[in-house]
Every structure is written in structure tokens, then in C-alpha cells.
Structure 1
Amino acid sequence: DLPGTESLQIDLTNVLALTEALQNRTFHIVVDSAAKIPLGMNINEDYCDNILMTCNLLKALKDNPPEYFLKLSTIDVYKISNKVNENTKVSPQSYYSLSKRVSEQFSEIWSKELRVPICILRLTQIFGPRDRSTKFIPSIIKQIKENSKVRIYGDGSDRRDFLFVEDAARLIVDCCEKRISGIFNLASGKSYSLLEVVKVLQGILNKKIEIEFFERKKQRIDYEFDIKNLVNKLGPLNLTDLSDALKITCHQESLL
């Protein structure tokens, strides 16, 4: 509902409808944030749709390209080992991450052909209010709201990088305003163990959180990211402290 803007609801898998909707429209900046994260059994369908949505958008924009294109991707395109930077080997380990990597490549080729500056942001775990994904923080907040035990697979020492959604949105806007180009990891650069996150939530809610440990389903992977390249382009990121971000999230989820 911003003045001077309009909203379009379009099925990005329908290239004809998309092309018609964007015809004769001029865009200074386009941000491609569309993605389907497989939650059920239609893994191959979701994989294909992720690639199709990007390809259709690029095709629809080809005759009247924007001045700048920003593509949101995922840190899951990397083969995680030690501290990850933008030079870490890309080796998708899931259908979802593979679809995002292929979408990156289509976007890069399109960018070169049309000479449109492109920025690809590989996002870490984003969290915040009204998140209904199955990632760790939204999952445990849902369990706390239901007065259930918090489920942790493994011993809880696994380390993750979390970025507050308000920070992520602000940094995406910063990238667009400064028209930075290249591939960057959009992360906090600071990792916490799963148990550390639970401990922070206990302090915020002022109550003991019961934990139920389960056998690890996957090999342990610790996520730690080098964000120097992004800082060099944007300057200090001024990120919200994890405790403050969780407090805001809990308040808007009616836990406070």
C-alpha cells in the first residue's frame, strides 16, 4: 500500500499471463524472491517450478529489461565445510538448492546477454514474526506456543547463522539503492548453537523450556559465514542483536 505503487498477483509458472501482465511496463529494479520450498512429496515438481518461475520472469522482462536485477538465492548451494565465503565450492545437496543454483545460472546468463547489472544474494536462515516454515527458530516458537517440548535432533551443539527478517529486508533495499553487483552471502556472520538459541528464549520468556532430544537424522554441519565482501560494499550492517530480534518475534507471536 505504498503511494505510487501497485500490486500484481500473477502465477509465475504461467509465462503467457506473466508476459501479458508485464507488457509495456518499465521497471528500474526487479527483485526475484520467488521460491517453492519442498515440504511434501512433490519434490521434482517443486524443483522444476523454481527454475520455471525464474526463466519465465527473465523471458517476460527480456524486451524491456530493468536497470538492475537482484536475485535471492540460498546458502544451501554450497557444500558446507569450515567457514564459508563466496569462493567456497558450490555443490547443491538437495533438489531445492540445486533448483536455486540453476536459477542463479539462468539469471547470470540473462544479465550478460542484456547487460543488466545483477546481484545474487545467498540467504542464511531468516527468521521473524509469522514465519511458518520448518526452520529451527519458527519450529521451536510454534512448539512453545503449543506448550510442547522443544524438539532437537542431535545434542544441540550444531551451530547456525540466523538473520532477522527486518535486517534482511533492509539490506536487500541497501543493495538495490547502491546497485551493487556480484554474488554475496547475506548472513549475520555470527553463529549460535541450537541450545544457545533455546537459552536466549528462556531468558526472554522467563521460563524453563523443556527439550526432547532425538537421534540425529543427518550428518552434523556447522554453518559459519564470512560476510566481509558484503560489508565492503555496504559498510557496517548494523544488525539486530539475536536476543532483541527474538524478543520482537516473541512479542508479535503473542508469547510476551
Structure 2
Amino acid sequence: MTKSVVITGATGYLGFKFLEKILEVKSSICVVKRETSDILKISSLCKNIKFYNTDEVSLDKMFKENDVDMIIHFATLYGRKNESIFQIKEANLDFPLLLLKYGIEHNVKYFINTGTSLPYLTNQYSLFKNQFSECLQFFSSKIITLNILLEHFYGPDDDDSKFISSMIYRMKNNMLDIELTEGTQLRDFIFIDDVISAYLCLINNINKFSGFNILPLGSGEVFTIRRIVETIKDVSGSNSNLLFGKIPMRENELLCSDADISKFQSLGWNPKFSLSEGLKLTIESYKK
């Protein structure tokens, strides 16, 4: 059988963008999805993609029917829409652990995981994401694991629940007053095209890895939230009033998040889009 790549989260923003690119070089793709997921958009990319549901029976069938050599895990649940702690745990720990179990049983060689740069106890999402990272490390003698600590990413057509997309939506619609924290938090935001090129760089250099690998991924630059929001306002030409300091910071707020991208750079990868370039492209694509 032709070697297959398994992709989770392909109906989400990051997963779909990646799928578009990998189909240019890889033909045997298995997509793991929820039973209720809309796959019309994915099916229009390629008629040869095989779809399997997230339940245990379907996953077992997938590994028996395909010679899988790599699992690329994007699926996640942030908990931004009032999901329960059990739903967040299932999406970020239980499901990928089941995927890891079958990967090991069927001698899959590589597991590329989309982790998080957030510390363990920041929120429920980061709690379970980091727990799964520890599971990857525990089983890394049986499967080569690459754990990507992904910083905040953004781009055209992203979910409006995310910070940058939400700010663009409000400012493009000239919301009168936008209440914010002081905005002193430092963040590393990376444009979607740079994220995808980093994943492809890893795959092209996959034979250089063994055991358990931690790979921080961001732009390599940090800016205050205040500067980012002010840049969005300038680029979008918004009339909104930015009310910094009107709301308190969240409990366990991370004051500085930045990625040491030297491991990616050693593979020949560097981000191509500056913050201003990425924001400009994202804002220009916005439709009210």
C-alpha cells in the first residue's frame, strides 16, 4: 500500500489550510473527523481523500486499511464557547491519546502534534494540551514525536472568536467603544502562511528527528497587545475608541509569550511575513 498521512482537524482553519498545501505533494490522505462535521469543502479539494470518524471502531478500521506512516494532529477545542471541562478534556487529551494508541499498535513512525505555548495552568485548554504532550514524551521510544508549541496564529477567514479576528471585526464595523485590558501583555503572533510553511519544512526534514522533540513556533518577535490593537485600528482606518484599562487581566494571565524559533531556523525555515504585512493581508480580506 502507498504510505498514508493521517490528518485531524482538517475541517478547522489551520488543518484545512495545511490540507490544501500537502495535497500538492501527497496523494494518500486520511482525514479524521467528527461524525457531524461538514466535509463538503474538503471533498471539493480532492475526491481521493478517505474520511474516518473519531470513534474507536472507525480509527481501528483506518489503521487496518491504510499503511500510515505519519499522524499530523491539528484538532483541538479551546473552550471559548462555554464547552464543559469534559468536552475540552475529550478533545485535547482523550481523543489524541486514542490516536496515539493506535499509531503505536500499527507501527506508525511519526506523530506531529500541535501543542500550545501556554503554561500548564493557564486554563482548561492548556491543562489538557500539556498533559497530552507528556503522554507523547512517555511513549516516544515507540513513536517519533514532534510537539509543536504553537503561538497565536491568525490570517484571512479565521474564526471571529480569536483575538485578532475579533478585533478586526469590531473595528471594521466601527464599534463605538472597545474595552480592553491595559494591553501590556507581550505576544508572538504568526501569520497563517508562515505556520503552514513551518509544518511543511518539518515534514521535508522528518528523517532528522528521533525520540521526543519540542519545537516552539512563532514569528520570533513579540509586541504588546496594545501595539497590535493600535496597528489594526490604523490599518483598518477604524473610528472605534480603544478603551485600554477598562477591563482587568484574566486570572493566570500570561504576561509574555514568545517563541525561540532556532530549531526551525536550523532546518532552513524563517517567517516571511512581518506583523504589519500579515495584519494588512488579513484586514484586506475581511468582508462585513
TM-score normalized by the length of structure 2: 0.74
Matched residue SS, 2:122: coil
Distance 1:7 1:66, change over 3 A: closer
**What residue is the counterpart of 2:61 in the other structure?**
20
Q: Tell me if the contact between 1:92 and 1:101 (Cα under 8 Å) persists in the aligned partners.
A: no
| Alignment match of 1:158 (pick from 185, 191, 199) | 185
Matched, 1:191 2:222: yes
Q: Tell me if the contact between 1:92 and 1:98 (Cα under 8 Å) persists in the aligned partners.
A: yes
Distance 1:33 1:204, change over 3 A: same
> Which amino acid letter does the alignment assign opposite residue 76 of structure 2?
A
| Alignment match of 1:37 (pick from 54, 78, 99) | 78
Q: Within 1, Cα distance between the matches of 2:98 and 2:264?
A: 32
Q: Within 2, Cα distance between the matches of 1:224 and 1:52?
A: 27
**What residue is the counterpart of 1:93 in the other structure?**
122
**What residue is the counterpart of 2:88 in the other structure?**
46
Q: Within 1, Cα distance between the matches of 2:284 and 2:255?
A: 29
Q: How far did 1:226 drift? A: 4.6
> What does residue range 106-185 of structure 1 map to in structure 2 within 5 Å?
106-112=135-141, 114=142, 116-132=143-159, 134-149=161-176, 151-179=178-206, 181=209, 182-185=213-216
Q: How far did 1:42 drift? A: 1.0
> Which amino acid letter does the alignment assign opposite residue 14 of structure 1?
D
Of 243-252 and 9-18, deviating more is 9-18
Q: Within 1, Cα distance between the matches of 2:114 and 2:31?
A: 19
Matched residue SS, 1:56: helix
Q: Within 2, Cα distance between the matches of 1:150 and 1:166?
A: 32
* Sequence identity percentage: 20
Q: Within 2, Cα distance between the matches of 1:43 and 1:145?
A: 34
Distance 1:204 1:215, change over 3 A: closer
Distance 1:234 1:161, change over 3 A: same
Q: How far did 1:29 drift? A: 2.4
**What residue is the counterpart of 1:87 in the other structure?**
none
Q: How far did 1:200 drift? A: 2.0
Unaligned segments of structure 1, at least 5 residues: 79-90
**What residue is the counterpart of 2:243 in the other structure?**
212
Q: How far did 1:232 drift? A: 4.9
Q: Within 2, Cα distance between the matches of 1:248 and 1:53?
A: 34
**What residue is the counterpart of 2:105 in the other structure?**
63
- Give per-residue Cα distances to partners, 1:112-141, cap 9 Å, x unaligned: 1x2x32111111111111221533211101
Q: Tell me if the contact between 1:54 and 1:107 (Cα under 8 Å) persists in the aligned partners.
A: no
Unaligned segments of structure 2, at least 5 residues: 1-19, 35-52
Q: Which has the higher contact order (CA 8 A, sep 6+)?
A: 1
TM-score normalized by the length of structure 1: 0.82
**What residue is the counterpart of 2:260 in the other structure?**
227
Matched, 1:247 2:247: no
Q: Within 2, Cα distance between the matches of 1:127 and 1:96?
A: 18
Q: How far did 1:24 drift? A: 3.0
- Give per-residue Cα distances to partners, 1:191-246, cap 9 Å, x unaligned: 11222113322332344442134221425542242515424532351331111111
Q: Within 1, Cα distance between the matches of 2:184 and 2:162?
A: 16
CA-based RMSD: 2.4
